[in-house]
Amino acid sequence: MGLLSLGTPLEFLESRDQNENVRQNGVEQLLYVFQAASKRDNDPLYWGDEIEYMMVDFDDNKQNAMLDVTHDEVLTTLNTDEYALCAAHNVHFHPEYGRFMLEATPNVPFKGYPGEYIEFNMQQRRYVAGLAYDKLPKNGSERLELLTLAVFPRMGCTDSVNIPDVWKHKKNTASCSLFLPDEVINRHIRFPTLTKNIRTRRGEKVCIQVPMYKDRNTPEKDDTVRERDWFPREDKESKLASKPGFIYMDAMGFGMGCSCLQTTFQAPNLDKARILYDFFANFAPVTLALSAASPIFKGWLADQDVRWSVISDAVDDRTPQERSVQPLLPEYNKDGYGGIAPELYDKVQRIPKSRYSTVDLFLGGSKFFNRSYNDTEVPVNERVLNSLLENHIAPLDYDLAKHFAHLYIRDPLVIFQENIYQDNKTSTNHFENIQSTNWQTLRIKPPTQEAVPDNKDVPGWRVEFRPLEIQLTDFENAAYSIFTYLLAEYLLTFSEEVNPYMPMSQIWQNMETAHKRDALREEEFYWKDSFEADNGKTSELTINEIFHNKNNGIFAKFINPILCHKGFVHERWEELKESSEHLRLYYYLKLISNRASGKTPSIAKFLRDFVLDHKDYKQDSRVSKIINYDLLELCGRITRLDDSNGELTKLFGSEIATYLPRSKLKVKKN
């Protein structure tokens, strides 16, 4: 996300009159982008990652670990007083949904294969953030740490933020959550407005249900759901919405407060960006399972290993009508139309998925593509489809037009008063309003109207890979990022030779499979029998098979060939172990391989096992304060590659755990 514009955000019921205006002008802006940039070519493979951090406050006296929501000015400092320090270390900090969150990227993107520099850069981000954090005024009792946790285990439980008596004001008007105080939300007005507008449009609080891990003493229901009388409608919803066997959550922050690892790649031109997007579609579900790091939500062990569905539900602004369900409280949400303007009731469409969800459509444009691969129910905005296909600016082909026409079934979520009127030849503000609130496993990022073929000072066509869960260490995050880089480089090098297509419906099913507990070891995913043949035939394979099969496995089919092409090895990635120049890449790939084969655990399994073995655990699926405290202490040790309790070895296996502490990268301190 770029810099946040200041201004006056409109509440949904005020701004909805502008929805069509935003869509119409957004489409025109997109067409001017295509007019300027569709012929752009030969852009280099610039790329970069995004890492999201949580600021955690350890109270050693009370043995409690909390989200730190009191030092968010660190982000301002990092973009003002400490800006030069950031630039000198090639790091850049961005706002995120949570007041306790920071996002960081390289300041200047990488060009091609960065080697271990990427991990070094990630270390610089922690180092620089730590310096800025240390300079802030403190009350003296806190001990603060920056952790890369996919989900904060006790988010929404008592004493899980570091403000004493956080509920005493009885005001929680953005989310109306029973559990999560609005103090977790970024102070910038965009974020509480987003929270509120999603709720208003939906006509109900958001509703997140995660299967609860079933142990001997696990209660039938999430017994933290209770009555309250602050908000007449919202406070009645929770009991109706929560179901036996599920953890119930009711606020945007439970999802957008999770941390992801994302990578963005520039393609040489638009056609290659489309092919890269289609190629990555297969990888999103399997790498989600491979990166699983979310076994606990709201103080309960989950029977699920990943965060994805939680974010999906947390920003689901669809009305009951659009979801084809009955409203929870018909007296407040008549006929389930939510916040839709009455004059539009007869235009309401059924919408099968949340605006945060897996990709819907292959973009096509490659010789291997045919439309039968796009075999799922994907509603489109017909008016937008027609204007993208037929216009005087830059008509799009059907498959690309359909992709954007699908994004445009959504309403804008936040409109700023000051931004209503834009020059469509120079602004992409309205386009980005819709684009940036369609959160899918992949995103094609168009450039701006400035990106004419000769203007190489501005970015070109990019594809973002978004499914990955953040990992605890810079080592792992570098490994997963580089892995996605190698896939991208493979595809961009050999795009003429690889047919990536399989039915989209199977990719959707893979995404569901990826959520199951231990999917990494226990489940089977659809995977192509061959990436050469001119068909989309698949079989169901385990993740181990998907990575290690001789003919259609990821290492044999994609990783080894690109490493050979780069001259790093003669045949197989394992040769890197003998390399002096690329030794660390061996360990990055070893981590991926070990996790795929089940030799070493995912973070999700590692954290779940820690809870199950904890002396305070009562076989009731509850993660108490003390378990949470010990667990986050453990996460801190892992982050620092401290193997004094043998935990690093347990997580990574002895080969990696022996290598890592001995070969720490040196952080540049200037």
User: Counting contacts by CB under 6 A, is residue 448 touching ligand ADP?
Assistant: no
From 28, 43, 49, 50, residue interacting with Mg ion (rule: CB under 5 A): 50
Q: Does 1 bind ligand ADP (CB under 6 A)?
A: yes
How many residues are there in the chain?
670
Which of 459, 503 has the CB closer to ligand ADP? Answer: 459
Report how many residues bind ligand ADP under the rule CB under 6 A. 17
Cβ atoms of 514 and 308 closer than 8 Å:
yes
Q: Kindly list the distances between the CA atom of residue 3 and the CA atoms of 123, 190, 479, 603, in Å, as whole numbers in the listed order.
A: 23, 12, 28, 32
SS3 174: coil
Q: Which two tokens stand for residue 18?
A: 């502008």
Given ligand ADP, Mg ion, none, residue 127, with its beta carbon under 5 to 8 Å by kind, binds none
Instruction: Pick one of 262, 437, 473, 481: the residue that binds Mg ion (CB under 5 A).
Output: 262
Site string for ligand ADP, 371-410 (x = CB under 6 A): ----------------------------------------
64 binds, among ligand ADP, Mg ion, none (CB under 5 to 8 A by kind): none
Q: Is 145 in the site for Mg ion (CB under 5 A)?
A: no
How far, CA to CA in Å, does 108 sit from each of 46, 397, 420, 483? 9, 33, 31, 20
Contact 195, 256 (CB under 8 A): no
Task: Dump strand ranges (E) for 546-593.
Answer: none
Residue from the set 16, 94, 410, 595 that interacts with ligand ADP by CB under 6 A? 94
Q: Applying CB under 6 A, does 47 fall inside the site for ligand ADP?
A: yes
Interface pattern 204-243 for Mg ion (x via CB under 5 A): ----------------------------------------
CA 289 to chain CA mean position, Å: 13
In Å, how far from its chain's centre is CA 215? Answer: 29
Subset of residues 457 to 516 that bind ligand ADP, contact rule: CB under 6 A: 459, 462, 464
Nearer to Mg ion, 468 or 576 (CB): 468
> What secondary structure, in 3-state letters, does 20-69 show?
HHHHHHHHHHHHHHHHHHCCCCCCCCEEEEEEEEEEEEEECCCCEEEECC
Q: Residue 124 binds what, of Mg ion, ligand ADP, none (CB under 5 to 8 Å, by partner type)?
A: none
Q: Rule CB under 5 A: say whether 103 interacts with Mg ion.
A: yes
The number of beta carbons lying within 10 Å of the beta carbon of residue 214 is 10
Q: How does DSSP assign 358-409, residue by residue? A: S-------STT--GGG--S-----HHHHHHHHS-SS-PPPHHHHHHHHHHTT
Q: Which is nearer to Mg ion, 63 or 539 (CB)?
A: 539
Q: Which of 105, 121, 387, 506 binds ligand ADP (CB under 6 A)?
A: 105
Q: Least distance to ligand ADP from the beta carbon of 391, Å? A: 27
Q: Which is nearer to ligand ADP, 266 or 477 (CB)?
A: 266
- Asked if 113 interacts with ligand ADP (CB under 6 A), we say no
Which CB sits closer to Mg ion, 96 or 204? 96
* The token pair that represents 285 in the structure block: 């579900």
Question: Residue 92: CB partners within 8 Å, gap ≥ 6?
Answer: 86, 104, 105, 106, 107
* Pair of tokens at residue 77: 């400092």
Among 28, 50, 222, 303, binds ligand ADP (CB under 6 A): 50
Taking the complex as a whole, the smallest distance from the CB of residue 518 to ligand ADP amounts, in Å, to: 30
Residues in contact with ligand ADP by the rule CB under 6 A: 1, 46-50, 94, 105-106, 109, 262, 264-266, 459, 462, 464
Residues in contact with Mg ion by the rule CB under 5 A: 1, 50, 103, 262
